[in-house]
Structure 1
Amino acid sequence: MYTTAGSLPVESLAAGSRLRCLGPPMAGKRSLLIELLAAGVDAGEAAIVITTDMDAKTLFAAVPALDVEGVAVVDATGTATTDDRVHVVNSPSDLTGIAIATTEAVTAFTEAGYDRIRVGVDSLSTLRVYSDGKRLFRFFHLLTGRARDEGALFVCTDHDTDGGGALGSLFDVRVELREGETGSERRVTVDGETTEWEPAAPYDVQRVEHERTVHAISVRSFQHVRDVLTGDDLTLVACNPTVGDSDLEAIRAFFEGLAVTVETRQVEGFPNSVALLHRGGEFLAADQLVTVAAAVTIDDSVLRRETVPDVIQQAYRSVHGDHYADPQTLVRVSRQFELEAGRGGVGTVHAGFRRLSRVTADAETWDLYRRLAAAGVEIHIYGEPDIDLPDHEGITVHTDLTDELRETWFVVRDGPTGGALLAEEVEPETVPEDGPVDDHPHRGRYYDAIWTRRADVVDGLVDYLGKQQP
């Protein structure tokens, strides 16, 4: 059994329990996850933190209770380190790398004699930005299954407030969080029984100020940023493929999400089913297509691998893109960057809405910005003044805009592992006939979008936007 008294309104949970912490933005989900992990460490248990948007160094500074032996971090921000407690993964989209690193950490703690291990994933919401539903389900199916088999306590956070669907079937404990009249409240559903809502004090997470560690690029325009991010275009060639069409489609979808062009070629005299990655005329890596397909589809062999295929490792450039992104995708990316600022309570968020009416069209958006400002984040909102936004301390509204500021959907957040999103609406006639089709309320609206966590680009954009203000 794992003791949870003091963190949850239940005394303990069985070994192998899988918890999904659900709630709206800034409801205290990360705080709860850290609290559960730190309580285990204090009791002599091991802890594994899978972090998708906070590098290990920042995590240890923010939570000193985790900066100890018996803690391992799977750092999916790609931040290099010499700390042997940290397993670095290139990107949150590298689910194969995350699975391998987590398995290595579990094995190491088991061999070291730990009989109780707590595993925390922060967050499912970030992973959802970078991976489709099928890959995400397979990933969590593998991790939760391994946790159950090892008798670990598995915890993940999610901005979803429903918690149903296929992913929901992988978890046997549901933890809900909400903002009550006097602060955060929690309740738990386990074995078909739901507790009453109980107040919960947030865990003490230290604020970590952002220190620039790279030289920011000198940004001339948003188009300049796009050119910088796409200037080293990569191409993956599937030569003489013998894998199935479904595997080829999975490979194509995965690499195109990394802004990599995918081509299929029949080459006489060349080996069958080989994946070649190159930049212009420069060869970068090669792997068997069957190996690449297994990695991108997250099959059961992932947990038996020791490395990620070379073509995948070489493809990660901290940049993601979609030529026909729907508004829902952009909202998820935007929200992720915004919420990361709120967790630290430091830094600046610049957000371009094109029109100010879009800020208040969704009540959650305006409420989130007010709460971010109250937490100490400096907010800058850009848009055509088709409405008057209410005055609010910490929020500055900009309406004297250049053409690119007026026409671009953008979110730029500085701070540790900051991020930037730039998106321009695609004219309807440019969308191919076999382009994306969906049933969401904005059907027919698509954007040529690119987003990145490259620190030199993000810091350069922050400086550039500061110069555009009167």
Structure 2
Amino acid sequence: MGLADIIADVDSGEKTLTIRNRDEPEPIVRMLRRMVDAPDVRIREDVPAAGSPGNLVILEGDGEGTTQLAISSIADVGNSVLMVNSDLYITGTRSIDEVDTPDVLAGLDETTFTVSGKQKMLLIEISRHVEALAYRSGGSTLHTGFQHLSRIEDERGTRSVYERLVDADVSVHVYGTPDDSPAIPDDISVHADDSEEIRTSWFVVNTDCPDEFKGALLATEVGPNEWTGLWTFDPAVVDRVSAYLDETYGA
């Protein structure tokens, strides 16, 4: 069993994003369609009766009857992933205190995505969301796979986030190949490993905390800068990933 097997074991249920009463420009809708493009995600638009709130994105789950899971404004979705790029996090412009992932994006949990290019911003946002859960819970354990340990250092914003996590009493464990990385702070547990799984996996897992703060992003590199993965807030799945990392790389 490995991280890719855990991804494959999670059932990816169908979900619908409804854009309601939009007067935002059409390019916003096109960007949203590209960002959340996945076999199990359907996007549609509707115009309800006059006087209804506008410029909303509504997430619904398909099952016995349609269940409304979350609502966010188009503006919030745009400000988090559509109208930004990864430099916002790399440079530290958006701090961990300011991470406020729209509910409709977090609610796409347990949906399998294959992303590349700009679409990768979706996974970056969720990784920051899981880190923010760790920061807000305090005293939890965070496991993060960087592929290469040097990545915690070559992105100024990332190192800052992880120093603040340590200051918040989060037990931080980082995983990656033992490349020529500068010294990582002593309070961070380093798991240097050159296995193929570590070199091709991207994960952020928060555990050892109340269930409402548990979360995990899991992704596997399937091509040059192309990733297949998902995120989950199911405590049982999160604990399973954490146990696997402890058993396989804990030493």
TM-score normalized by the length of structure 2:
0.62
Give the match's secondary structure for 1:320: coil
1:457 aligned to which of 234, 237, 242: 237
- Decide whether the 8 Å contact of 2:172 with 2:188 is kept in 1: yes
> 1:291-370 counterparts in 2 under 5 A?
293-294=45-46, 301-302=52-53, 311=62, 313=67, 318-326=109-117, 327-370=120-163
C-alpha distance in structure 1 between counterparts of 2:206 and 2:193, whole Å:
21
1:427 aligned to which of 207, 223, 231: 223
Alignment of 1:221 with 2:2, yes or no, is yes
Per-residue CA deviations over 1:285-318 (Å, capped at 9, x if unaligned) read xxxx9xx6328x9x96358xxx986745288673
What is the match of residue 40 of structure 2?
A: 260
> 1:269-288 counterparts in 2 under 5 A?
none
Q: What's the offset of the Cα at 1:337?
A: 0.9
- Decide whether the 8 Å contact of 1:374 with 1:394 is kept in 2: no
Structure 2 unaligned spans of 5+: 17-25, 70-106
C-alpha distance in structure 2 between counterparts of 1:356 and 1:364, whole Å:
15
- Decide whether the 8 Å contact of 2:177 with 2:198 is kept in 1: no
Per-residue CA deviations over 1:204-252 (Å, capped at 9, x if unaligned) read xxxxxxxxxxxxxxxx31122112213x55488xxxxxxxxx8xx87x9
Structure 1 residues 310 and 294, CA gap change in structure 2 (3 angstroms): farther
Q: Which runs of 4+ in 1 moved over 6 A?
A: 307-310, 314-317
Q: What's the offset of the Cα at 1:360?
A: 0.7
Structure 1 residues 260 and 402, CA gap change in structure 2 (3 angstroms): same
Alignment of 1:373 with 2:166, yes or no, is yes
1:397 aligned to which of 183, 186, 190: 190
Q: What's the offset of the Cα at 1:332?
A: 1.8
Structure 1 residues 256 and 333, CA gap change in structure 2 (3 angstroms): closer
- Decide whether the 8 Å contact of 1:417 with 1:455 is kept in 2: no
Q: What's the offset of the Cα at 1:319?
A: 1.7
Q: What's the offset of the Cα at 1:333?
A: 1.6
C-alpha distance in structure 2 between counterparts of 1:254 and 1:313, whole Å:
24
Give the match's secondary structure for 2:46: helix
Greater relative contact order, per chain length (Cα 8 Å cut-off, separation 6+): 2
Structure 1 residues 325 and 333, CA gap change in structure 2 (3 angstroms): farther
What is the match of residue 214 of structure 1?
A: none
C-alpha distance in structure 1 between counterparts of 2:132 and 2:15, whole Å:
33
C-alpha distance in structure 2 between counterparts of 1:383 and 1:400, whole Å:
6
Structure 1 residues 455 and 258, CA gap change in structure 2 (3 angstroms): farther
Structure 1 unaligned spans of 5+: 1-219, 237-245, 263-288, 429-444
- Decide whether the 8 Å contact of 1:325 with 1:449 is kept in 2: no
What is the match of residue 190 of structure 1?
A: none
Q: What's the offset of the Cα at 1:379?
A: 0.5
C-alpha distance in structure 2 between counterparts of 1:350 and 1:308, whole Å:
29
TM-score normalized by the length of structure 1:
0.35
C-alpha distance in structure 1 between counterparts of 2:36 and 2:108, whole Å:
13
2:200 aligned to which of 392, 407, 423: 407
- Decide whether the 8 Å contact of 1:351 with 1:382 is kept in 2: yes
Q: What's the offset of the Cα at 1:384?
A: 0.9
Matching residue's letter, 1:449: G
- Decide whether the 8 Å contact of 1:323 with 1:449 is kept in 2: yes
The sequence identity of aligned pairs, in percent, is: 28
RMSD of the alignment, in Å? 3.6
Give the match's secondary structure for 2:179: coil
Structure 1 residues 465 and 325, CA gap change in structure 2 (3 angstroms): same
Alignment of 1:466 with 2:246, yes or no, is yes
Give the match's secondary structure for 1:346: coil
1:383 aligned to which of 176, 192, 196: 176
Give the match's secondary structure for 2:45: helix
Q: Give the paired residue count.
A: 189
Q: What's the offset of the Cα at 1:397?
A: 0.7
Q: What's the offset of the Cα at 1:405?
A: 2.0
Q: What's the offset of the Cα at 1:331?
A: 2.3
Q: What's the offset of the Cα at 1:402?
A: 3.3
Larger radius of gyration: 1
C-alpha distance in structure 2 between counterparts of 1:391 and 1:254, whole Å:
37
Matching residue's letter, 2:198: L
